[in-house]
Chains A and B, each alone.
Chain A
Amino acid sequence: MSWLDSRRPRYDAADKVTGKLLYPSDRTMDGALWVEVVRAAHPHALIRNIDTSRAEAAAGVVRVLTAKDVPGLNAFGIQVQDQPVLCHDRVRYQGDAVALVGAESRRAAREAARLVEIDYQVLEPLTDPERAMAADAPALHPGGNILHQGHFSKGDIEEGFGKSAVIVEDVYQVPMIDHAFLETEAGLSYYDGEVLVVESCGQYVFRDQTQIARSLGLPLDKVRVTAPFVGGAFGGKDEITVQIHLALMTYHTKRPARMVATRAESIVSHTKRHAARMYYKTGASRSGKLLAVQARFVSDTGAYASLGGPVLNLMMEHAAGPYLVPHFQVDAYAVYTNNGFAGAFRGFGCTQACLAMESQMERLARALRIDPLRFRQMNVLHQGDLAALGYPMKLEVGAEATIRSARRSKLWRNRRALRQPPASYGPSRRRYIRRGVGAASQMQGLGLGIGIPDYAEVEIELAPGPRATIKAGTTEIGQGAYHAYILEAAERLGLEPGQIRVVGADTGRTPDSGTTTASRTTYAVGNAILLAAGRLEQELGRRAARRLGWPAGAGKLRDGGFTGSGGWVALDELLAGQRVSARATFHVPVQDVEMGDGLPHLLYSYGTHVALVEVNTLTGEIRVVRLEAHLDGGQVISRTGFEGQSEGGIAQGIGYALFEEVRLDRGRFVDTNFDKYVLPTSLDVPVDMRTVPVMVRDSTGPFGAKGISETCMVGPTPAILNAIEDAIGVRFTRLPVRAEDVLQALREKEKKDEG
């Protein structure tokens, strides 16, 4: 029996819904101090003086820490350490930390935090990235305001436009958005003997360990970081949040310390999805061949680098979508401003680029009067083709398979009929309620890309029972990765899923399996599980020879036992009360061309989304009626997980399209709670969601699997925008599209049509 593509309840589901499983925000200890962060009062200011004396004297306060108490490097950042742990001379965004208060209660910590007196010299905030790029703009960092830029061209862009029969040109604008993970940043720190332990909420415990040790000036082996179960992140906890602050308080007080951010603090302080302006010009021939794509990106990376560089690189890499394009030019800039700070977020740059490119593709198809999905199919990349940036697509390319699958669906085939609102709407309403169908295709690089170390080490231990334990350093962040590991291991080890458990994300107990990001864990950890299983089999072969006198040689784990040269033997008999374990490291394969940090990828997942939307032309309200996802993630490991990812991605894509925007007013956050930051509810997500796995097996993947956890949120947004255009003939180039915008656009259109 195979466990692949199975629908089984997640192994952690019962513990999560009954509250048995503890999250970082649940963890506490006797005598733990509450840590409160004093954050910047202004998005941009110089610090003249910090006076902590009143706070120190306040009731219940144990310690107040400032920059001078940071023993090691007072800076952190995944790539560039440009963000102070505690600011001492300058603040660059509203979430910047200036001081920490450790107190006996949360209330005491909060009250004392208000007593820390900081004397600021307020500076004008830089809020427009295009202005911040100008040579005369005040520099936020020593190297100027351009964090990263990339330029690439292939063919001759002018020649491409010259040959084009249709050209579409426009500017797309996407807002900064929040990850809206359910559990805010939280953790607990304490000393275990000599070792400083931080139980945290991060997405990569080994990197967090390095960052903590560096700032505290401690050797790595004196810091241990764990984060097995975290209440959601979507990239928002990839960068350091509470970890160094907690460690610093415990370091100085020798007491356990705990933090749980309020929602307001969370929204103000953590990274966001990059707001971007995207200038696009695309051209195609009369017969429907995509000839030229020119793109210019200006992405607002906010106050600090975090992953702003790699995110920009992925925007460039995916600027032309999954299409063959002979003439291509891209110029991209990630610019520092005082608008919060941006970093990793599910989709990682593809989200932005795909919105623009898929809008352009739709408009070209309409101009050429070609079925929009056929137009995409005519131009789609195949294995062996050169991608936009000029490197070959070496592995299996599932893009066309997802387009075919979408074209075969009832939703696409019946789209003309579906544009008619249902008869139940009555004759009058059917005149002003409009429906439309739109599609979008995308690819999404998987793994960290070339130039960034990308490996996964795991350990598998077999014990009498028989039972198996997988030790993996990645985090179960709600995505279902541990469940996938169990199914992959069950399949490979010949055990039942119930016989396998996962010990996760603990620098003291698990090997380094890399980041919990970039759609990589099911793929990379899965591959490492297969490698480790191979080693186990060699070891078991030796054991069988020793104990049972079988001829030397490897064998296969199967049906709860081991099949080798002497036949089949039950694992328990072979183990004879002992444990056997093996470790293995899988290195994610990369391209041989290197074009910059993480640029490009070798592996991609693919998807085509189709949306049916309804627009009430009287009120401007938009409703997503149906959404289909045709996703190529190779072999599906857990169907339940696959669908869960896809449906969550659809909801997030709807939020991006219709509701979400982090509003800033001169660098200050306007909405700091979910009462005003509008997320989709269950009523805003269609009941009618369909996820179709298009399994183009990947020759490098475990059982042919790849990840889909980002692809699935990238496509819904442009598909919705394209469907809106199909419904009412209006093209929106700015997110989110609100009822107010629809009504205004319809009025303008009416005027134009009349005039």
Chain B
Amino acid sequence: MIDYLRLSQLDDVLEMLWAEGPGILMLAGGTDILVRPQPFAGARILLDISRVEQLRDIAVDPADDCLVIGAAATHEEVAWHPQVSRRAQLLAQACRLVGSAQIRNLGTLGGNLGNASPAADSVPALACLDAEVVLSGRNKQRRLPVLEFFTGPGSSVRQPDEVISSLRLPRQRGRQVSFFLKAGQRRGMCCSKASVAFRARSHSDGRLSGVRVALGAVAPTVVRVPEAEQVLEGRRIEPRLIDEAAAACSRAARPIDDIRSTAEYRKAVVGALLTDGLFRLGDKMKQRRRPRRRRPR
């Protein structure tokens, strides 16, 4: 048997975690927990944090101009929030591809991280956006780059008395271009067999800088691919570079065979997804650079 407890104040949650830490299983949307074969294994208290308003806010912190997204915000809330669309289109795009409408209405960003699946769709996007995870405990708080949070499939550096309270996304300068693409067993309601997130600043001459590439579901955790990023850094998108960057992604992938796909396919498809995304982006950028002819009045 397990006790169920729903709290609405963050302080109470932190107090509870401090007192009962290891026996607590936090529940946000429950979309990961409740489908496990033994949902509550090893826990004494199921602590529902989905109604903690302080964990659901999405707002810009005036102190450092970061976009702060509460960990209990749902994928649907994140996907359609105007500030997210303006400042972190890449994250909005990833959240829109999570599961189905039902899953997005329940599932949260914090849960996506807390579950620590290498296939979590928000994570490659967050990694490319240089996001930091904020972990809070009673009288303590720490921040770390999102990828440092994960230590392997299903495991993270979170201490039993900590909650993921928010994600902080720094403001990006200049014109941003990005994409998130995933390959699944079908087009909706599916986990990624592999995913790719990409972000860069685009300059007026078509060159890219600050390139970020991250891969999901092809290694024990989400990984960045510095080799692919360097290929594109300071360059324009062109077929030869796309091939090189895609090859770097395939090399960086350390996938496994499982029920959803094969390691071989995953290795190939991460490169393919990056290629597809870059070709699309390249075409779009070219179109934009081409001076538009004025229509005669």
B261 at the A interface (CB under 8 A)? yes
B283 at the A interface (CB under 8 A)? yes
Residues of the B chain whose Cβ atoms lie less than 8 Å from the Cβ of A620: 265, 269, 272
| Chain B residue at minimal CB-CB distance from A433 | B276
Which of A623, A676, A680, A740 counts the most B-chain CB atoms under 10 A from its CB?
A740
Known: A619-B273, A619-B276. A684 touches B187 (CB 8 A): yes
Bound: A740/B268 CA distance, A? 10
| A618 with B272: CB separation less than 8 A | yes
Interface string of A732-755 (1 = CB under 8 A from B): 000000111001000000000000
| A429 with B276: CB separation less than 8 A | yes
A675 at the B interface (CB under 8 A)? yes
- The contact of B261 among A670, A671, A680, A740, by CB within 8 Å, is A740
Which of A427, A618, A620, A680 counts the most B-chain CB atoms under 10 A from its CB?
A618
Which B residues from 247 to 297 make CB contacts under 8 A with A?
Answer: 259-262, 264-265, 268-269, 272-273, 275-276, 279-280, 282-284, 287
Residues of the A chain whose Cβ atoms lie less than 8 Å from the Cβ of B100: 681
A426 at the B interface (CB under 8 A)? yes
Bound: A678/B259 CA distance, A? 11
Minimum CB–CB distance from B102 to chain A (whole Å) comes to 12
- The contact of A678 among B186, B275, B276, B280, by CB within 8 Å, is B186
Bound: A623/B187 CA distance, A? 9
A120 at the B interface (CB under 8 A)? no
Bound: A623/B184 CA distance, A? 12
Residues of the A chain whose Cβ atoms lie less than 8 Å from the Cβ of B187: 623, 681, 683-684
Known: A740-B265, A743-B268. A618 touches B280 (CB 8 A): no
| Chain A residue at minimal CB-CB distance from B272 | A618
Bound: A426/B276 CA distance, A? 11
B189 at the A interface (CB under 8 A)? yes
Residues of the B chain whose Cβ atoms lie less than 8 Å from the Cβ of A671: 259
Minimum CB–CB distance from B256 to chain A (whole Å) comes to 14
Residues of the B chain whose Cβ atoms lie less than 8 Å from the Cβ of A738: 185
B183 at the A interface (CB under 8 A)? yes
Bound: A426/B286 CA distance, A? 10
Bound: A428/B283 CA distance, A? 7
| A743 with B269: CB separation less than 8 A | yes
| B269 with A683: CB separation less than 8 A | no
B154 at the A interface (CB under 8 A)? no
B35 at the A interface (CB under 8 A)? yes
Known: A739-B269, A743-B269. A676 touches B259 (CB 8 A): yes
Residues of the B chain whose Cβ atoms lie less than 8 Å from the Cβ of A427: 283
Minimum CB–CB distance from B163 to chain A (whole Å) comes to 28
Known: A426-B283, A681-B186, A681-B188. A618 touches B276 (CB 8 A): yes
| A621 with B35: CB separation less than 8 A | no
| Chain B residue at minimal CB-CB distance from A427 | B283
| B186 with A429: CB separation less than 8 A | no
Please report whether the interface of chain B is mostly helix, strand, loop or mixed according to DSSP: helix
| A426 with B269: CB separation less than 8 A | no
A682 at the B interface (CB under 8 A)? yes
Bound: A659/B189 CA distance, A? 13
| Chain A residue at minimal CB-CB distance from B261 | A740
Residues of the A chain whose Cβ atoms lie less than 8 Å from the Cβ of B185: 659, 678, 738
Residues of the A chain whose Cβ atoms lie less than 8 Å from the Cβ of B287: 426
Residues of the A chain whose Cβ atoms lie less than 8 Å from the Cβ of B276: 429, 432, 616, 618-619
| Chain B residue at minimal CB-CB distance from A428 | B279
Residues of the B chain whose Cβ atoms lie less than 8 Å from the Cβ of A618: 272-273, 275-276
Which A residues from 619 to 637 make CB contacts under 8 A with B?
Answer: 619-621, 623
| A675 with B280: CB separation less than 8 A | no
| B265 with A743: CB separation less than 8 A | yes
Minimum CB–CB distance from B293 to chain A (whole Å) comes to 17
Interface string of A425-455 (1 = CB under 8 A from B): 0111100100000000000000000000000
| B280 with A429: CB separation less than 8 A | yes
Known: A619-B183, A678-B185, A739-B183. A429 touches B269 (CB 8 A): no
Minimum CB–CB distance from B215 to chain A (whole Å) comes to 14
| B280 with A426: CB separation less than 8 A | yes
Residues of the B chain whose Cβ atoms lie less than 8 Å from the Cβ of A619: 183, 269, 272-273, 276
Bound: A219/B137 CA distance, A? 72
Which A residues from 634 to 690 make CB contacts under 8 A with B?
Answer: 658-659, 670-671, 675-676, 678, 680-684
Residues of the B chain whose Cβ atoms lie less than 8 Å from the Cβ of A616: 272, 276
Residues of the A chain whose Cβ atoms lie less than 8 Å from the Cβ of B260: 676
| Chain A residue at minimal CB-CB distance from B187 | A683
| A428 with B262: CB separation less than 8 A | no
| B186 with A683: CB separation less than 8 A | yes
Bound: A619/B194 CA distance, A? 11
Residues of the A chain whose Cβ atoms lie less than 8 Å from the Cβ of B262: 740
Residues of the B chain whose Cβ atoms lie less than 8 Å from the Cβ of A429: 276, 279-280, 283
Interface string of A678-704 (1 = CB under 8 A from B): 101111100000000000000000000
Residues of the A chain whose Cβ atoms lie less than 8 Å from the Cβ of B283: 426-429
Bound: A88/B197 CA distance, A? 58
| Chain A residue at minimal CB-CB distance from B269 | A619
Interface string of B164-185 (1 = CB under 8 A from A): 0000000000000000000101
Bound: A427/B283 CA distance, A? 7
Residues of the A chain whose Cβ atoms lie less than 8 Å from the Cβ of B189: 681
Residues of the A chain whose Cβ atoms lie less than 8 Å from the Cβ of B272: 616, 618-620, 743
| Chain B residue at minimal CB-CB distance from A623 | B187
Interface string of B18-50 (1 = CB under 8 A from A): 000000000000000001000000000000000
Residues of the B chain whose Cβ atoms lie less than 8 Å from the Cβ of A680: 186
Which A residues from 375 to 407 make CB contacts under 8 A with B?
Answer: none
| B183 with A621: CB separation less than 8 A | yes
Interface string of A704-739 (1 = CB under 8 A from B): 000000000000000000000000000000000011
Which A residues from 65 to 122 make CB contacts under 8 A with B?
Answer: none
Bound: A438/B275 CA distance, A? 28
Minimum CB–CB distance from A686 to chain B (whole Å) comes to 11
| Chain B residue at minimal CB-CB distance from A663 | B259
Residues of the B chain whose Cβ atoms lie less than 8 Å from the Cβ of A681: 100, 186-189
- The contact of B188 among A432, A623, A683, A739, by CB within 8 Å, is A683
Minimum CB–CB distance from A659 to chain B (whole Å) comes to 6
| A739 with B265: CB separation less than 8 A | yes
Minimum CB–CB distance from A177 to chain B (whole Å) comes to 15
Q: What are the 5 closest A-B residue pairs judged by CB atoms, nearest first?
A: A426-B283, A683-B188, A618-B272, A428-B279, A683-B187
23 contacts between A and B (CB under 8 A): A426-B287, A427-B283, A428-B279, A428-B283, A429-B280, A429-B283, A616-B276, A618-B276, A619-B269, A619-B276, A620-B272, A623-B187, A659-B186, A676-B259, A676-B260, A678-B190, A680-B186, A681-B100, A682-B188, A684-B186, A738-B185, A739-B265, A740-B264
A residues apposed to B, CB below 8 Å = 426-429, 432, 616, 618-621, 623, 658-659, 670-671, 675-676, 678, 680-684, 738-740, 743
Beyond A618-B276, A619-B183, A670-B259, 15 additional contacts (C-beta under 8 Å) are: A426-B280, A428-B282, A429-B283, A618-B272, A620-B272, A659-B186, A676-B260, A683-B188, A684-B186, A684-B187, A684-B188, A739-B265, A739-B269, A740-B264, A740-B265
